[in-house]
């Protein structure tokens, strides 16, 4: 994991002081609400429904035990005792008080955590393959490149006021576990003829126009990471639309220009940078990369013989351990070691939520069993990446004791969901209650194992933080006449076979949606060619129609008139639906 030196520490210290002064000026009436808004966003502070929301960047999803302990402390001291892991591998706090945020950030800065560029129209936290460094299919460990790019984009003066947010996603493996092409820019680190380089995709994004990134350059040389990133960001800063916030992402420039013109513009700028003194400054030398790689050296693994254990015997004697071993434990590239997934999708828990006690337990467990480090995943779970087989049984018991061992990774109840209407100021509909309803219908592990791998994703509005567009079953909350309704999409995927889901038809009501999802899954069980065919494979083979027929089978049962689609509100407006939704679930206004 990257360890700050005095330059990093001094920069973060000064940044923290800068925001403390900005907050002081706002509270003293010296800064207007609108002027301050832009400054607080660039420090992770967003105005939510009830209180400010603080988004804490977790660079490419890596956390250490000291950071976890500090998280436990700050959620107790400044919040309501829990935090929330997001689809960008970050952590959000939902209840901090503005006047206390400078102190909170100062406490986080002591352990290399911050909210710099966590919100706002700037370059956001970089996401990355959560199995970086331990996956068998890895070509190049992407983490050193993530950190080199992080330092380039952090507080970059030219790109601090972009037309809209800009997200980078990295992988260095053959399997895309980071939904990279849903990012504004995807960077695939790879080798060609022995040389390291980057395959760049640009123009992806979820939200109201979900698109996958298009290939810009199949092989940018290793030394040119920052030159190419600079060319993309400069092109975006110059040509990104600023007249309409809904058309301001880089994907709109790409769509309006077409891929060829867009690629030509980026390549031209890349060539100009390369030919100038600026290019010389941005070019990375082998020693820069080597120095950074040193921060991500493999931990001192024990010899395979010392690490291995007879897991089969342990599993045979304890079926609950066996279930966990099967669902939440994956192979590791080093013999005798395994990758352990920590599920944040326990029953009656909001997907991604983590309590202070769980943060503390995770700190202890990663110290005891995984070299002091933990990773967050884009699907809102956690990973202990380096666990010796002989420690698995003890680790499982301790995870189980704090409700972090639900054996459901990749299954029906491993639902990705944004916080929805209960918290978010943009949401049109609730998500947490719906995830609970779906969960209850598939609570039995046998039922989930029968269904097998499936990705259900859910967003409370069109902005798509819950990745609904790339779910096998995607659910989008919409507001109609002050009520929460849910549109269903099918066939999306965020992996190597990335695809944007297709909308099935009319939205379902709050009372219908969980039943609708269950009917879709039952349809799959009937339609699949055999037990090996997964939901997404089955959908691609048979198409939408048989699923659509089942989804609307119960049509009319609710007896409610179905409002037309044109009456849906755009996201970002508050209205009747929001208040009605909150009242129904008894969410108290802060």
Partner 1 sequence: MRRILRKHAIVEDDWTLDDAARTPAGLIVPLARWRAERELLLASAAAIGVLLPNTEDVEAIYPQIADRPLIALQFPTFTDGRALTQAVLLRNRLGFAGELRALGDVVRDLVFWLGRCGFDAIVPRPDQDLEACRGALDELSVAYQPAADAHAAVWARRRMRASA
Contacting residues toward partner 1, per CB under 8 A: 5, 7, 10-11, 14-15, 18, 22, 31, 35, 38-39, 121, 148, 151-162, 226, 234, 237-238, 242, 272, 276-278, 281-282, 284-285, 287-288, 291
Q: Which residues pair with 484 in a beta bridge?
A: 479
Rounded Cα gap, residues 64 and 106, in angstroms: 18
Rounded Cα gap, residues 310 and 506, in angstroms: 52
Least spacing, CB of residue 223 vs partner 1, in Å = 11
Least spacing, CB of residue 197 vs partner 1, in Å = 18
Least spacing, CB of residue 278 vs partner 1, in Å = 5
Instruction: Name the residue nearer to partner 1 (CB basis): 191 or 295.
Output: 295
Q: How far is CA 462 from the centre of its chain?
A: 16
Helix (H, G, I), strand (E, B) or coil at 546: helix
Instruction: Name the residue nearer to partner 1 (CB basis): 109 or 162.
Output: 162
Q: Which residues of 203-220 are buried (b: 16+ CB within 10 A; e: fewer)?
A: bbbbbebbbbbbebbebb
Least spacing, CB of residue 173 vs partner 1, in Å = 25
Nearest CA-CA partner of 395 in 341, 434, 316, 441: 341
Q: Which residue has the tokens 């990279």?
A: 180
Instruction: Name the residue nearer to partner 1 (CB basis): 278 or 348.
Output: 278
Least spacing, CB of residue 152 vs partner 1, in Å = 5
Instruction: Name the residue nearer to partner 1 (CB basis): 268 or 310.
Output: 268
Least spacing, CB of residue 191 vs partner 1, in Å = 22
DSSP track, 335-385: TTEEEEEE----TTS-TTEEEHHHHHHHHHHHHHHSTTEEEE-TTS-EEEE
Instruction: Name the residue nearer to partner 1 (CB basis): 161 or 565.
Output: 161
**Within the chain, how many helices (H) and strands (E) appear?**
21, 21
CB of 251 closer than 8 Å to CB of 166: no
Rounded Cα gap, residues 382 and 376, in angstroms: 4
Instruction: Name the residue nearer to partner 1 (CB basis): 161 or 303.
Output: 161
Nearest CA-CA partner of 40 in 58, 28, 57, 52: 52
Instruction: Name the residue nearer to partner 1 (CB basis): 15 or 167.
Output: 15
Q: Which residue has the tokens 């395994």?
A: 338
Least spacing, CB of residue 121 vs partner 1, in Å = 7
């Amino acid at each position: 994991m990257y360890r700050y030196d005095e330059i990093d520490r001094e920069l973060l210290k000064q940044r923290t002081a800068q925001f403390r002064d900005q907050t002081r000026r706002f509270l003293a009436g010296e800064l207007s609400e609108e002027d301050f808004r832009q400054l607080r966003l660039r420090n992770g502070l967003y105005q939510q429904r009830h209180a400010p929301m603080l988004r804490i960047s977790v660079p490419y999803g890596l956390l250490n035990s000291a950071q976890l302990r500090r998280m436990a402390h700050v959620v107790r001291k400044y919040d309501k005792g829990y935090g929330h892991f997001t689809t960008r591998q970050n952590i959000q706090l939902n209840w901090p008080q503005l006047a206390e945020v400078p102190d909170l950030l100062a406490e986080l800065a002591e352990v290399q955590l911050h909210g710099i560029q966590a919100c706002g129209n700037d370059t956001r936290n970089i996401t990355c393959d959560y199995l970086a460094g331990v996956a068998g299919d890895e070509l190049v460990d992407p983490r050193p490149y993530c950190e080199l790019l992080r330092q380039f984009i952090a507080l970059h003066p030219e790109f601090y006021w972009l037309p809209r947010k800009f997200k980078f996603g990295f992988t260095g493996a053959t399997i895309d576990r980071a939904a990279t092409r849903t990012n504004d820019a995807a960077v695939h680190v790879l080798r060609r003829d022995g040389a390291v380089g980057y395959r760049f995709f640009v123009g992806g994004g979820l939200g109201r126009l979900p698109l996958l990134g298009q290939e810009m350059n199949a092989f940018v040389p290793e030394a040119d990471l920052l030159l190419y990133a600079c060319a993309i960001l400069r092109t975006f800063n110059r040509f990104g639309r600023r007249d309409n916030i809904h058309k301001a992402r880089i994907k709109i420039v790409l769509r309006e220009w077409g891929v060829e013109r867009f690629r030509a513009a980026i390549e031209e700028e890349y060539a100009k940078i390369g030919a100038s003194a600026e290019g010389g400054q941005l070019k990375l030398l082998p020693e820069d990369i080597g120095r950074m790689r040193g921060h991500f050296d493999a931990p001192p693994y024990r010899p395979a013989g010392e690490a291995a254990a007879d897991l089969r015997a342990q599993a045979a004697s304890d079926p609950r351990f066996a279930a966990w071993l099967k669902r939440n434990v994956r192979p590791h590239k080093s013999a005798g070691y395994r990758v352990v997934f920590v599920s944040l999708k326990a029953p009656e828990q909001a997907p991604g939520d983590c309590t202070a006690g769980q943060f503390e337990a995770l700190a202890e467990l990663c110290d005891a069993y995984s070299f002091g480090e933990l990773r967050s995943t884009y699907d809102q779970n956690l990973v202990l990446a380096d666990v010796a087989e002989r420690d698995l049984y003890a680790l499982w018991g301790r995870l189980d004791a704090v409700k972090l061992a639900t054996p459901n990774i990749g299954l029906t109840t491993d639902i990705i969901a944004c916080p929805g209407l209960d918290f978010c100021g943009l949401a049109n509909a609730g998500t947490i209650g719906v995830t609970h309803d779906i969960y209850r219908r598939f609570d039995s592990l046998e039922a989930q194992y029968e269904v097998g791998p499936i990705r259900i994703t859910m967003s409370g509005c069109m902005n798509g933080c819950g990745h609904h567009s790339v779910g096998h079953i995607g659910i989008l909350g919409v507001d109609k006449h002050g009520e929460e309704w849910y549109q269903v999409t099918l066939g999306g995927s965020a992996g190597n076979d990335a695809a944007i889901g297709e909308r099935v038809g009319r939205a379902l009501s709050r009372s219908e949606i969980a039943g609708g999802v269950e009917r879709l899954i039952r349809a799959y069980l009937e339609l699949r060619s055999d037990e090996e065919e997964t939901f997404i494979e089955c959908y691609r083979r048979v198409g939408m129609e048989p699923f659509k027929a089942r989804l609307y089978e119960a049509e009319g049962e609710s007896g409610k008139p179905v409002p037309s689609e044109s009456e849906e509100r755009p996201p970002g407006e508050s209205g009747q639906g929001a208040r009605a939704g909150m009242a129904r679930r008894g969410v108290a206004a802060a």
